[in-house]
Structure formats: structure tokens, C-alpha cells
A and B are shown apart, each in its own frame.
Chain A
Amino acid sequence: MTLSSDMQLLPEQLGDAASRLRDRGGRMQMVYAWYPEPDRLELRYVVTEPHQHAFGVWICKPQGAVPSLAGIWPLMSWYEREVTDLFGVDFHDHPQPQRLVLHEGVSPVRPPFDPNYPPGATLAAEPVKQTIPEIAGAQADVQLLPFGPVRADVVESAEFVFFYIGEAILHYQPRLFFKHRGMEKRFEGLPADRAVILAERVSGVGSVAHALAYCQAAEAAANCTVPPRALFLRVLLAELERLYNHLHYFGHLCHTTTLKVGEAEGKLLEERAKQLNSRLTGSRFLRNLLTAGGLRRDLSPEGWLGDELEKLRQDFSTYARRMENTGSHLDRLITTGKLGRDVAFDQGATGPVDRASGLDRDLRRDHPYAAYGQLPLSVAVRKDGDAHARAQVRMAETETSIALMQSALSLLPDGPVRADFAVRPRSEGLGWAESPRGTLFYAVHFDSGGKLARVKIKSPSFSNWRVFPYTVHETNMMDYAINEASFGLTIAGCDR
């Protein structure tokens, strides 16, 4: 999709346009900034129009501060704070005008994406406490627990702050972006093909989704048609990624509900899936295959992968049935971490989290890419919005995923897997993928020399971390780990 049918908006028109989008049943996806010229900054709003395959793009050239849309679309709050941190754009009337991506206490000489940011300058962090809302009428028995960024077990770094009395959590605030690597800026100046290596390493357990969304964005910009065999193999790779991620999810969820054998079983199934990945591609994370124009080399899944997947499906199905029949496990999931449909929509939940709260959205069906348009896909939706609903959506998706792979294998055409890819100078494209955790976007801009001028990454965990605290406030400590596991969040993609 090239972004040719864009709409130009003045800052003062944004509020109206955002309200009208909401009234006609559309959805705001994100805003990002970039510099088309070193002295000219542009904001890009990406929106979903009801029943349209292509995403809409609004272009706004800020003159001074821009009105915040967080009052109309609460999910926009984080995107706007990120643009403020990294580009220095002010949004007026922002409900929470604090640092997000850069930590408080960091004072760069210029915003890191400013064209005049000194090359080679690294940020320095002064240990400053984050701004935490005051709890009205808080007495001495309200305890504050800061936990992290180095936590127990082998986990990603983040700090969680709990206000609590005894077992009851009054307020919860995660502090993320300890892992902010400035990945988007690392893309700048790279040629299109080499950037795939970077995209694969934004989020390790989302390597395929990231590479795919990036490649599709670059292919849209270059108007490149990918050969059919590569399109089907891309579906296969994307679903293999979903498979090992979802299997990991169940192992981890059983860990939090202390179902020990269930934990071992889930982790063993995940290991089997990763070993299949390795056998098929040489990489347990399915890396080093995708490229702009198709795949770097052909794969040979014919004759063996289908049988292995069928064995895995049978074992998973037994495992899933057992979990669904285990009272102690279900007791800990049902009613835990309830996320209502309205909050899910307003705060921008995505993926299985979104679908477990009654929102029927899946990019594979609604905005098909690769070969998904040619394959049957049923989208699992639940209404309860609790940890159990989130687990059930992933259970159904695991089985759908294997069925999709079997269809893709049976329809897999012969032929080349790579088309010629030539960048057009000053072109741009938007790519997307339904990653195991939900909507992933790459917006890609090439400069006059055909090198990358800007890459914006919208990862699903960025969306779901924004939503997650709404299910933690006013719950209890015992449920926290279970609830967190039921969201299936990662941090690397969110922090970038």
C-alpha cells in the first residue's frame, strides 16, 4: 500500500476529523513523526476506515503545539508522548504530559530524532524517580512497592510500582522503556535489504512478524510483487512463530497457576515447535529468511512438516483439554484481570487480548496480506475479557494456526521465491502483520538515494502494555502474576 491517497489536515482540524472517525465506526491506529526535509517535520496519523482494506493516513504539519487527541482516542496518549520525547513536538491539553520512552531525568541536548542531534552522542541516565499519581486520602498503611527493573527469574527488564494495602492493590504503574535501544533510528541510512536483519532483531519472539511487516512496507513502496510460493511460505513461517509463542504462553500460564506438570508439558511442546523451526530453517526463531521481494532461499517443508505438525496438534489438543478440565487452574483464571470491551477499544488493546474482550478484529482476515486471502481462517472471539477468555482465544488460535499451515502446505505452489526488488527514491509504504500478540505496523520512508529515511514500528505489546494496568488497579497481589501471564506481553518490541 503506498500512502498516495493521504489526507492533509491542519492542526486545528485534527480534533474534528478524529471525532468523525469515531462516529463512523473507524479506529485510530497510531501517530508518528518524521522529517521529509531536515527543516520540515510531519505527523502521520494512521487510521482504519470501516470495511476498507487499505489504511488511511492523515498528514499534519505542526506549527507550534498540536492538539492532543488523547481526549477523543485515549490510546493516542502514548503515541503522542513518544513523539514529544523523540521529536520534541508539543501536544497541548495532553492528559498525562510526562516522559514515556525516555526516562525522567534524561536530558538530551536535542530530541534524539532531531536532524541536528549530535552523531554518536549517547544518552545518560540520572536515577530519577518517575512521576506517580498521588493517592487521595492515602494513609500510612498504604504501602509502595517498587519492583524491578531487575526482577526474579529470567525475565525482561521493567519496573512495576504497586500501591497496596495488605493483599489489595490500589494502583499499579509499570515503568517500561529501560530496554529502549533506539532501534527505529538504527534503520536510518540503511539499504532496504540489510534493514530486514535489523527488523528481525527488534523483538526476538516476533522475528517473522517484524521482518514480514517491514518487507511488506518496503514492497509496497517499491511496488514489488512477491512470487506465490514465497507468499505461502511466509504464511507458514508466520504461523510457526504463532505456534511456538502460544505454546510458550500456556507453559508460562501454568507456571503462575502452579500447575507444575502443565508447565512442563507446555514448555516441552514449545521446545518441540522450536526444534521444528530449526530443522526447517536453521533458526529456532525463524530468522534470516525473509527479504524484500520474497525469501532469501527456498524451504523444503514438503513430505515431513505436515506429519510433525499433526503429531503436535494431537498432543496439544490433549493438553488443552486437560487444562480446561482442571478446576484449580480454571479457578485462578476465571474472573481474573477482567478487561471490558469499552476499555479494550478505547485504550487500544490488540491481538488475543482484544479478541478475548469481544472485539472481532484480525489483520489476517480484515486486511489480508501474504497468502492469507487464499486460506480459510476462523477468528476466535470470547466476550468475558478475563484471564480464562484470553487463554481460550489462544487455545483456539493454536489449533487454527496448525490448520492454516496444513492448508498452506497442501496448496504450496512451485516456483521462485524471490522477485527483483528495486527501491524507488523518495517512496514510502505501510506494512502490517497480525503477530502472535496482535497488530504490528511498519511505516517506511525511503530518501532520494533509495536508503531508509525513517522507519516507524508499532508493536502489539506497546498497545497492550498501555491497556494492562486497567486490569490491575483494585485487584489483589495473588492474581497479579496470573493476570500478567494471561496478557502474554513482551517488552523488547514495546521498548524498541
Chain B
Amino acid sequence: MPLWTLIGLLEGKQTAAWPLRDGEGGQAGFIGMPRYHPERCGEGCKACAEACPTHAITMRPADGGGERLEIDYGRCVVCQLCTEACPTQAMTPSSDWAFGVRRREDLIWQERSDSPSDAHAKARNGFRRSLHIRHVDAGSCNGCESDLQALNNPFYNLHRLGIFFTASPRFADLLLVTGPVTYAMLNPLRATYEAMPEPRWVMAVGTCAVSGGVAEGGYACGHGLEGVLPVDVYLPGCPPNPAAIIQALLMLLDRMPQRVRGGQLVE
């Protein structure tokens, strides 16, 4: 019979240095949210808005008359159709994945970004070291679950950051929700939230949980957590890669800064 423990020890450490130290964290080649370059937009062009399957890109009346693009990354399923439809490369593929934000408005592209809001920072101080998460699948495609499960593989090893998934909502600090919230999961989701002790936080993981995603508007789905539960961190993505989930969790704990404001990555 193989000596599994010895084999495991001989394998050595397989865990990524990131986020404790610099490194690409296994995300090489990953294509994230499309990046918007308004200066390249063609006059009156609507190609990206017409290509977008989830109305993340829409035409809105501009202040000085005419129309302007509104880009809501909270609705983006990262399908890249806009980057292919755009004739002038105003929408380009990028590696921008660290899209966890505290305010929903920060997912909407803005010319000039507001300064960060750190109003909640103090309240969370007590949880800076450790966090227990109750995950609820409210009708996802299982893509988000697949990469949430990856967080506990040896490469990401979430435990080393003091973050744990827990079975009981009674032990949980954070409710992590995936999926567009189907009619049948609405009551179980609310019951789970009600069972959590205060203080409690909610994170919407994946574009479905943020805004409904591709299933939004059907007979069985709502608009994600919108109007269902108060959300503390929004993380769009389809699905968000494991590093993005870790970044958003550490951001909730004030151990990492929010990197996106006004729909743009800022350093």
C-alpha cells in the first residue's frame, strides 16, 4: 500500500506565493473584464451595445445631447463579444479580474473616479484575522462553485489566510451567494441569512448573484441579490477566478485594498 503521507511530504509545498507575496498566482493567460477606451469610440457607434447579451453596455442620453455608452461591469458575463464587435478597439480584452467592490456604483464605468469609501472599515476590524463563510448556491451554473471549491485545493489553500467554509450559518460571519436567485431558492436563501448571528456580511459572487446574469428576466429567476439581501461586497465575473475571490475576501477583511473604482482598475 502506498505511503500517502510520505508521498505528500515529498511533493513539497505546492501553494502559490500570492497573495502573501508577489506572484502571478496561477492566473497566467486569464482574460478578465473588457477594458473601455472611450477616446477610441467612433461617432454614433453602437456595435458593442448591440453585441452585449446581458445589457451590460447600453446607450444612455448624454448630458450635452446625443447618446453615450454606459458600461456596467456588474452585468458583464466576460463573453468578450463587445471586444470582437468593436471596429475601433475601444473595448479590448484585458487581464483585469480584481473586480470586487463595496459599492455597486463602483462597477459602472465613470470618467473620473471618486475617492474610496471606507465607511465600513471600522466595523469589520474584529474579523481581520479570521472569517467563516456559509456559501449558498442560489441557482448558479456550477462554474462559481467549481472555482470556490478550488480555493481549498493545495494551490490556493485558503486556510492559510484564516478563511474557512462552515456548514452551519450559526457559525458564519459571511454569506457568500452565487447564482441569480431562483424562485425556489429565494426562501432557503433568506432563511440561511436569518439564521446567521450579527454582525453578518453578504458577498455576491459571480455576475448572476450581482445582477442576474444570463438567466435574468426569465420566469424562474430574479436579478441576483438585488432587492433580496443587503450586499457588502460585489464580485462580478463569469465565473470570477479563484484569485479574484481571494482578493474580494481579503478586501472585505480590510487586508487588501479595493482595486476597482468607477469600473476601472486603479493602483
Contact = CB atoms under 8 A, between A and B. Distances in A.
- The reply to whether chain A is a binding partner of chain B is yes
Interface of A: 103, 106, 108, 112, 117, 120-125, 127, 149-157, 177-183, 185-186, 190, 194, 197-198, 201-205, 207, 248, 251, 259-262, 264-265, 267-268, 270-271, 274-275, 278-285, 287-288, 296, 322, 325-328, 490-493, 495
B139 interface: yes
A179 B5 CA distance: 39
Pick the most buried of A103, A185, A259: most chain B CB atoms within 10 A of its CB.
A185
B90 interface: no
B79 A197 contact: yes
B1 A327 contact: yes
Contacts of B2: 322, 325-326
Interface of B: 1-2, 4-5, 7-8, 11, 14, 26-31, 51, 53, 77-81, 84, 93, 134-150, 152-156, 165, 167, 169, 179-180, 182-189, 191-192, 213-215, 217-222, 238-239, 241
A123 B145 contact: no
Contact of A149 (B134, B150, B188, B220): B188
Contact of B4 (A150, A153, A261): A261
A182 B215 contact: yes
Contacts of B5: 261
Most buried by B among A123, A157, A205: A157
Contacts of B156: 271
A432 to B, nearest CB: 20
Contacts of B142: 156, 203-205, 490-493
B137 A179 contact: yes
A125 B146 contact: no
A197 B153 contact: no
A155 B135 CA distance: 8
Contacts of B238: 201, 287
Nearest to A193: B81
18 contacts: A108-B219, A112-B220, A121-B219, A123-B220, A125-B186, A180-B184, A182-B218, A201-B238, A251-B153, A264-B153, A268-B153, A270-B150, A270-B153, A271-B156, A275-B26, A284-B147, A326-B4, A491-B142
B219 A267 contact: no
Contacts of B53: 190, 194, 197-198
A98 to B, nearest CB: 15
Contacts of A152: 167
B29 A278 contact: yes
Given A124-B183, A157-B185, A326 B1 contact: yes
When A and B form their complex, which 4 residue pairs have the shortest distance between CB atoms, in order from nearest?
A204-B143, A282-B31, A152-B167, A267-B153
Given A154-B135, A296-B84, A325-B2, A179 B146 contact: no
A125 B141 contact: no
Nearest to B167: A152
A194 B55 CA distance: 13
A282 B78 CA distance: 11
Contacts of A493: 142
Contacts of B150: 267, 270-271, 274
B149 A154 contact: yes
A251 B217 CA distance: 37
